[in-house]
């Protein structure tokens, strides 16, 4: 008994370093796995039926768990990504119109303008230069989310945010063992001061925008920031400034790093699959050619979009979902006591041997007709599903497809000979030691 417990703790310590590297081979076949913690049990739900149960049909019984939230709370406070219950429901309702489909054509114009600036900067680098593309991809997606959601450009403040987030990830990027052990949240976690310094730097930008408030064109559709500022509850009270700040931090974070990582992994995958790269280039040359890309091109960029979909399958930026059971429940015939932690690992599910043919192969074709019909709804959840599904799903897909096509129109990105890039499962799925790619011009 003690030896088994010891093994589980060793496993958890390894998991902190790189969650995706330590999943045992058998987990890619299993549908329900039990891991014992000293204070409670954790269940890994690893089947479409289980995902549907936890995230859709009985989602009221599952809240975001401290395992995940504690790493994010110092930065996101009570923001949408981590909040629960009535607060979450209200905030989601207030914020949702900012990502409504009707706004996408306007948003595309901003995405394209910011993308063009990034391309111009990449063009300025000498031919064949090796660049860690995580930085330009993160800076461009941060610029886009700031302009779209707050109505303000980040410009040089983008670098401040980028560095601050890097510092935050270094101190809080790994789930703390205290969370796995179920220790109370009031116990201080080591490394907190670095995280606090990063949050201060982050806030120096967000609070500037919040103070500047509504200096924009009153005729324009309101930004998310304006919606939050204008909100009044049934008693006529405005939203607390702290909560507005938390929502700004949440949307900023949820809305840019994920898209940047997707782009990096998409070009990494293309460089490993020349056939797919050829098809992408043929499609872009046929649909867009040498002219600037337009929103109207997106429906015709079907193969490029399939590359994005397949990248999100093999490298889902949010590779793990953590929930806590509120009441006793049963998931696919397994008893789940109240208080248990539930993990849904999209990394495992997206590579599950039962639900995918050649699960490890990069084959964008699986997301094109007729094959796409074989994709099971709850076996593919890069944006989550159910009530907590990503609020920016359609925006994220539009942005990833447009930026992907723009970069592929201009450049071919190559993994330098001998370099090894691997996925590192932390708060998000990052490339390690980075996504350094050689940039060759196509036109």
- The answer to whether residue 435 forms part of the interface with ligand HEM (CB under 6 A) is no
Nearer to ligand HEM, 40 or 92 (CB): 92
Contact between 431 and ligand HEM per CB under 6 A: no
Binding status of residue 384 toward ligand HEM by CB under 6 A: yes
Q: Which residues 6+ apart lie within 8 Å of 90 measured at CB?
A: none
Cβ atoms 256, 145 nearer than 8 A: yes
Beta-carbon contacts of residue 163 (< 8 Å; ≥ 6 apart):
201
Nearer to ligand HEM by C-beta: 427 or 438?
Answer: 427
Q: Return the DSSP state at 55.
A: I
Among 136, 173, 317, 425, binds ligand HEM (CB under 6 A): 317
Asked if 383 touches ligand HEM (CB under 6 A), the answer is: yes
Determine, following the binding rule CB under 6 A, whether residue 254 of this chain makes contact with ligand HEM.
yes
User: What is the number of the residue whose Cβ is closest to ligand HEM?
Assistant: 392
> CB-wise, 81 or 162, nearer to ligand HEM?
81
Q: CA 4, CA 41: separation in Å to the nearest integer?
A: 13
Told to check if 19 binds ligand HEM by CB under 6 A, we report no
Across the chain, which distance is largest between two alpha carbons, in Å? 67
Is residue 391 at the binding interface for ligand HEM, with CB under 6 A as the rule?
Answer: yes
| H-type alpha helices, 218-324 | 224-230, 241-254, 257-272, 274-287, 302-314
Map residue 370 onto helix, strand or coil: coil
Q: Is 320 in the site for ligand HEM (CB under 6 A)?
A: no
The residue within the footprint of ligand HEM, chosen from 336, 390, 421, 429 (CB under 6 A), is 390
Name residues contacting ligand HEM, limited to 31-60 (CB under 6 A).
none
Sign of the CA dihedral with 76 first, then 245, 79, and 428 last: negative
Nearest-angstrom CA–CA distance, 317 and 252: 15
Stretch that binds ligand HEM, among 101-109, 225-233, 298-306, 393-401 (CB under 6 A): 393-401
Residue 258 near ligand HEM by CB under 6 A: yes
Please, is 344 exposed, middle or buried when counting C-beta atoms within 10 Å of its C-beta (0-12, 13-18, 19+)?
buried
Residue matched to tokens 């370099």: 419
- Residue 259 near ligand HEM by CB under 6 A: yes
Return residues touching ligand HEM (CB under 6 A): 80-81, 92, 99, 250-251, 254-255, 258-259, 262, 312, 317-318, 321, 382-384, 388, 390-392, 395-396, 400
């Amino acid at each position: 008994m003690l030896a088994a417990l010891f093994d589980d703790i060793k496993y958890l310590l390894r998991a902190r370093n790189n969650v995706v590297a330590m999943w045992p081979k058998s987990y890619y076949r299993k549908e329900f796995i039990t891991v014992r913690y000293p204070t409670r049990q954790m269940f890994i739900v690893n089947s479409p039926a289980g995902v549907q149960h936890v995230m859709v049909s009985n989602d009221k019984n599952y809240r975001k768990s401290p395992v995940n939230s504690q790493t994010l709370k110092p930065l996101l406070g009570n923001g949408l990504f981590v909040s629960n219950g009535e607060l979450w429901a209200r905030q989601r309702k207030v914020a949702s119109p900012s990502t409504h489909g009707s706004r996408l054509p306007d948003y595309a114009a901003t995405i394209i303008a910011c993308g063009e600036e990034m391309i111009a900067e990449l063009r300025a680098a000498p031919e064949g230069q090796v660049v860690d593309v995580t930085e330009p991809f993160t800076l461009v997606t941060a610029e886009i989310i700031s302009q779209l959601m707050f109505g303000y450009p980040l410009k040089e403040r983008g670098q401040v945010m980028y560095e601050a987030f890097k510092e935050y990830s270094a101190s809080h990027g790994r789930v703390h063992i205290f969370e796995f052990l179920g220790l109370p949240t009031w116990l201080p976690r080591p490394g907190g001061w670095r995280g606090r310094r990063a949050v201060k730097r982050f806030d120096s930008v967000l609070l500037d925008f919040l103070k500047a408030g509504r200096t924009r064109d009153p005729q324009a559709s309101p930004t998310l920031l304006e919606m939050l500022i204008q909100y009044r509850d049934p008693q006529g009270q405005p939203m607390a400034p702290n909560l507005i700040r938390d929502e700004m931090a949440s949307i900023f974070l949820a809305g840019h790093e994920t898209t940047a990582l997707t782009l990096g992994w998409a070009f990494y995958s293309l460089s490993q699959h020349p056939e797919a790269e050829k098809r992408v280039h043929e499609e872009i040359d046929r649909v867009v050619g040498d002219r600037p890309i337009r929103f109207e091109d997106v429906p015709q960029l079907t193969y490029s979009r399939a590359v994005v979909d397949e990248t999100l399958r093999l490298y889902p930026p949010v590779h793990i979902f953590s929930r806590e059971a509120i009441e006793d429940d049963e998931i696919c015939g397994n008893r789940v006591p109240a208080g248990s932690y539930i993990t849904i690992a999209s990394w495992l599910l997206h590579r599950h041997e039962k639900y995918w043919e050649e699960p490890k192969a990069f084959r964008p074709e699986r997301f094109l007709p007729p094959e796409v019909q074989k994709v099971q709804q709850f076996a593919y959840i890069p944006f989550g599903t159910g009530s907590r599904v990503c609020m920016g799903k359609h925006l994220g897909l539009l942005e990833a497809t447009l930026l992907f096509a723009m970069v592929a129109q201009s450049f071919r990105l190559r993994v330098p000979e001998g370099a090894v890039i691997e996925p590192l499962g932390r708060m998000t799925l990052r490339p390690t030691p980075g996504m350094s790619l050689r940039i060759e011009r196509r036109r």
